[in-house]
């Protein structure tokens, strides 16, 4: 009788422990925040995350399209934030339900300097004319803004540094091995140069703008203007790579067309640029010189769009460009550009992401993709220089949503490789869950800690409904949408 009682008590205790464990699991969610807003992240504004001294910092657009930042301590297994870091001048209040009312260009780009201070650039779509003369293009909206934490590694307090041009959009950080910071961006709206500003003192001061890709009226046309979309990153040693596409910007009749694929390289020792064969380039590059010296492929009427570029140990570039329905991989083999190959034809819809070059022939790509009604974060690998690609592990998946990707986190921890956003097409608002994904899936968080919307959903219920798909298509055709879509 006594033994039976002990057995019963043991069984009850075991069930309680098991139930408790289930409750703890149920109390966690895979997202770290629910207040991603609009199109919170992109691979064009980069990087959006960095791992530094055991902590991964992530930045995205939250309510009002303002920059928000969160931090995950890998040792403690604990999230901090998200913190409202600054104010985007292009945000509208109350938060809209119509995606056509958003600008999206002001997404934050994040970098950690040598001293551990965290920097964000955000808020610009070319800058307004009231800020003065734009010597490299045409003004647009917003103001490119630079903020930095008041203490190293502490995301709770920020200050603004008035040390960069306000006429920026598509802000991109490049941090060199010696700690020098380069800030690349388009200096205005569509019809503007791509430039950079350099800092040798951890972003406290910046040198004047240097133009690298030139806008101008297109040869032989009264309405088309030479415009560009570019992506910059550190190359081998003290070099910076640039991969880019051409945008024939028409007025009237503006459209979202992009053409061709291009590549060039900067030597940071003297600021000179060369093409892939090592021929010196006259800067800034024009459409004519780009076609003559830096062209990888003329795509004709087929639309091309930016991807990312990395180099192997020999300094040879490997590049992804996005085409309708697929990502294509290009590789310079030391003598010529290898014919482009598509990655995962059956997984191509919604593809975006980044990749790692392990050797001249071995490359691993981490991509967000849609497949069989699910959004997935998948590894792909080639060991023969891109001739064949094999699907590897799926790190994270959700049904009936779409994922938006960022590039791989700088110095990524294996548990926190990519910041992504999940977008549910059925919902009638523009708030989205944010995830930090790695080899073990998404880093979870207690439900109450991951909830940051408050009563915002109640506030927007009275807002007008979003445009119909037909109206959205009309706006897109008219060039009124986010121009990196």
The residues facing 106 across adjacent strands are none
Annotation says 105 is catalytic? yes
Catalytic residue among 64, 105, 119, 190: 105
Which CATH topology does 31-477 take? Methylamine Dehydrogenase; Chain H (2.130.10)
Determine the Cα–Cα distance for residues 240 and 173; give it in Å rounded to an integer.
11
Name the DSSP class of 337.
B
The H-or-E segment that residue 160 falls in is strand 154-160
Query: Are 364 and 375 within 8 A, CB to CB?
Result: no
Q: Specify the pTM.
A: 0.92
Q: Residue 255, exposed/middle/buried by CB under 10 A (0-12, 13-18, 19+)?
A: middle
Residue 94, preceding peptide bond in cis (omega within 30° of 0): yes
Query: Are 124 and 143 within 8 A, CB to CB?
Result: yes
Q: What is the CA radius of gyration of the chain?
A: 23
102 half-sphere exposure, CB direction, 13 A CA radius: 28
Sequential pLDDT tens for the chain (485 residues)? 333 443 444 444 444 444 444 444 459 999 999 999 999 999 999 999 999 999 999 999 999 999 999 999 999 999 999 999 999 999 998 888 888 889 999 999 999 999 999 999 999 999 999 999 999 999 999 999 999 999 999 999 999 999 999 999 999 999 999 999 999 999 999 999 999 999 999 999 999 999 999 999 999 999 999 999 999 999 999 999 999 999 999 998 888 899 999 999 999 999 999 999 999 999 999 999 999 999 999 999 999 999 999 999 999 999 999 999 899 999 999 999 999 999 987 777 779 999 999 999 999 999 999 988 899 999 999 999 999 999 999 999 999 999 999 999 999 999 999 999 999 999 889 999 999 999 999 999 999 999 999 888 887 776 666 655 555 555 544 443 444 43
Annotation says 68 is catalytic? no
Catalytic residue among 37, 52, 57, 170: 170
């Amino acid at each position: 009788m006594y033994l039976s009682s002990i057995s019963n008590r043991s069984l009850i205790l075991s069930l309680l422990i098991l139930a408790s464990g289930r409750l703890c699991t149920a109390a966690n969610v895979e997202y770290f925040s629910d207040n991603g807003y609009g199109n919170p992240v992109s691979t064009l504004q980069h990087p959006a995350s960095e791992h530094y001294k055991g902590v991964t910092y992530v930045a995205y657009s939250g309510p009002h399209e303002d920059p928000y930042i969160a931090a995950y301590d890998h040792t403690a297994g604990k999230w901090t934030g998200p913190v409202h870091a600054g104010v985007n001048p292009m945000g509208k209040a109350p938060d809209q339900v119509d995606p056509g009312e958003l600008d999206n260009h002001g997404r934050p780009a994040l970098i950690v300097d040598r001293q551990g201070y965290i920097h964000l650039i955000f808020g610009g779509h070319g800058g307004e004319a009231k800020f003065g003369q734009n010597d490299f293009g045409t003004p647009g909206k917003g103001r490119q803004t630079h903020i930095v934490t008041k203490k190293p590694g502490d995301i709770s307090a920020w200050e603004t540094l008035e040390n960069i041009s306000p006429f920026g959009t598509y802000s991109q950080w490049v941090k060199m091995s010696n700690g020098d910071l380069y800030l690349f961006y388009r200096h205005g709206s569509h019809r503007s140069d791509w430039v950079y500003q350099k800092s040798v003192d951890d972003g406290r001061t910046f040198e004047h703008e240097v133009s690298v890709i030139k806008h101008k009226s297109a040869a032989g046309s009264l309405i088309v203007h030479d415009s560009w979309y570019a992506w910059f990153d550190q190359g081998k040693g003290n070099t910076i790579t640039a991969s880019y596409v051409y945008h024939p910007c028409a007025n009237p009749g503006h459209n979202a067309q992009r053409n061709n694929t291009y590549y060039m390289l900067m030597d940071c020792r003297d600021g000179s640029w060369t093409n892939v064969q090592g021929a010196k380039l006259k800067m800034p590059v024009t459409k004519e010189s780009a076609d003559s010296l830096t062209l990888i492929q003329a795509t004709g009427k087929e639309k091309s769009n930016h991807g990312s570029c990395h180099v192997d140990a020999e300094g040879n570039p490997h590049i992804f460009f996005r085409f309708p329905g697929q990502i294509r991989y290009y590789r310079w083999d030391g003598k010529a550009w290898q014919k482009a190959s598509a990655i995962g034809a059956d997984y191509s819809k919604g593809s975006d992401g980044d990749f790692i070059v392990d050797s001249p022939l071995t490359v691993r790509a981490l991509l967000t993709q849609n497949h069989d009604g699910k959004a997935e974060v998948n590894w792909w690998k080639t060991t023969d220089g891109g001739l064949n690609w094999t699907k590897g592990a799926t790190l994270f998946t959700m049904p009936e949503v779409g994922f938006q990707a960022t590039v791989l986190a700088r110095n990524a921890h294996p548990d926190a490789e990519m910041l992504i956003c999940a977008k549910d097409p059925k919902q009638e608002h523009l708030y989205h869950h944010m995830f930090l994904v790695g080899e073990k899936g998404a880093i979870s968080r207690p439900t109450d800690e991951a909830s940051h919307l408050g009563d915002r959903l109640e506030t927007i219920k009275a807002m007008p409904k979003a445009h119909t798909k037909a109206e959205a298509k009309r706006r897109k055709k008219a060039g009124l949408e986010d121009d990196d879509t």
